[in-house]
Chains A and B, each alone.
Chain A
Amino acid sequence: MSIWAQAWEFLSTGVNWTGQNGLTRPTFDGGWRFANDSILALSIEHLYMSFAAVALAALTALPLGITLGHARRGGGLTVALSNVSRAMPTLALLTLFAASAIGFGNRAVILAAAIFAFPLILTNAFTGISDVDADVREAAEGQGLTRLQVAVRVELPLAWPLIAAGLRTSASQTVATVPLAALVAGGGLGVIINTGLATQRYGEVLAGGVLVAALTLAVDAGLGALQRRLTPRYRRTTSLVSA
């Protein structure tokens, strides 16, 4: 049987979606975890881990980026951070965490994914705010707006397209990165890929890869639609190579 047929069989079998015993499993300490044999449960876990990572990154990076951008200071810092994060292998961070007090499992993976989402959100927030036309800022200040009002009512709306693009790109990147969690005993759709690899059922590996790619594209499309709705019409531009 070809790999494609195997993948189709895996994906078209109902019990693979719902799991043998439902979406959750009790743990020994009375809690619960997502079932490892259910595509639905693993997808929900995958989305939850990605969302938690991006939210954690956004909650720290946005205020910092907006503040630094408003002060037009710290440009070198943001560039350096994004360069280092590109060079740092995700696997290195995950294994470093695992051997330290942070440990492994989902919480460590969320933290690692947040660290990788952080620089992109920070850079875009910083660039968006600090690139606002100086004349526009001066005009706003001349009309008697306070610094806070300038930041919230002038700079933020003008920087929004770039900030939104940063959030969107980092979200889809995170969804595509979280599968690595399976290498260090984490959950999410990577579990399907890793299990398939370990048991040499490559159809399942393919199915897992297709599921992650579909989830990434869906998240990107969903956030893209949201981004368009939240962007004022006069700020909508179409560029061929906008990230």
Chain B
Amino acid sequence: MEDAPPNPWLSWRYVESNWSELSAQLANHATLTLQAVAIALALAFPLAVLARNVPWLTRPILGFTGVLYTIPSLALFALLAPFTGIGRTTVLIGLVVYALLVLVRNIIAGLEGVDRDVVDAARGLGYSRLRLLWGVELPNALPSIVAGLRIATVTTVALVTVGVVVGYGGLGQLMFRGFQSNYRAQIATSSILSLLLALVLDLTIVMVARASMPWARSRRAS
């Protein structure tokens, strides 16, 4: 065993000589995450508004998204495969499903948390329902929505790796191959890249949210 070749956890040579593959999977990982979160957000918003405005729909919608969350990601990806084929679409559908739950819950919580007096005042000023939602409730619920968006984005980055079961796991692909061939540098590098991606996306959301909520900033400053 003394002649065993070195198997370091971190190796710059690995990064250098495999950069094209690393960057390709990183790009896959990032675009999958962004696409999934964008689609989930587009679906979650009407669902949450519907759940809040139609009382008898609230429990079914929350219950349904809750049950979706108990389906193991391994099974969901594997099960979609015979219908949607092996590859990107399958992983994307799975990711959207999981991001939905977090987003729907947080948007409902945000809308419910809006000060009743503020809504009453807007109504008294003659705001239509749509304008009330868009101009008053949404900005007030934004902190909660952003919190949900951050959680959904970061968990989606982690979840992409499970896509390895249908051959499209982004950086998870490299982790799994590293596991199969006991290649430590490959596992460690792809894990670190995946953590970094989550961090960068999270920070981006925080900064965009700050720029789009000037009122929250001034309140903290005063």
Contacts and interface: CB of A to CB of B under 8 A. Distances in A.
A225 interface: no
Interface string B83-109: 000000000000000000000010011
Interface stretch (B35-43, B114-122, B130-138, B156-164): B156-164
Nearest to B199: A87
B74 A182 contact: yes
B194 A92 contact: yes
B179 A184 contact: yes
A165 to B, nearest CB: 14
Contact of B195 (A88, A208, A212): A88
Contacts of A205: 75, 78-79
Interface residues of A, number: 43
Given A95-B176, A240-B62, A202 B67 contact: no
Interface stretch (B10-18, B19-27, B185-193, B212-220): B185-193
Interface in B173-203: 175-176, 178-179, 182-184, 187-188, 190-191, 194-195, 198-199, 202
A217 B70 contact: yes
Interface of A: 3, 83-84, 86-96, 98-100, 172, 176-177, 179-180, 182-184, 190, 193-194, 196-197, 202, 205-206, 208-209, 212-213, 216-217, 220, 240-241, 243
Interface of B: 58, 62, 67, 69-76, 78-79, 81-82, 105, 108-109, 112, 151, 154-155, 157-162, 164-165, 169, 172, 175-176, 178-179, 182-184, 187-188, 190-191, 194-195, 198-199, 202
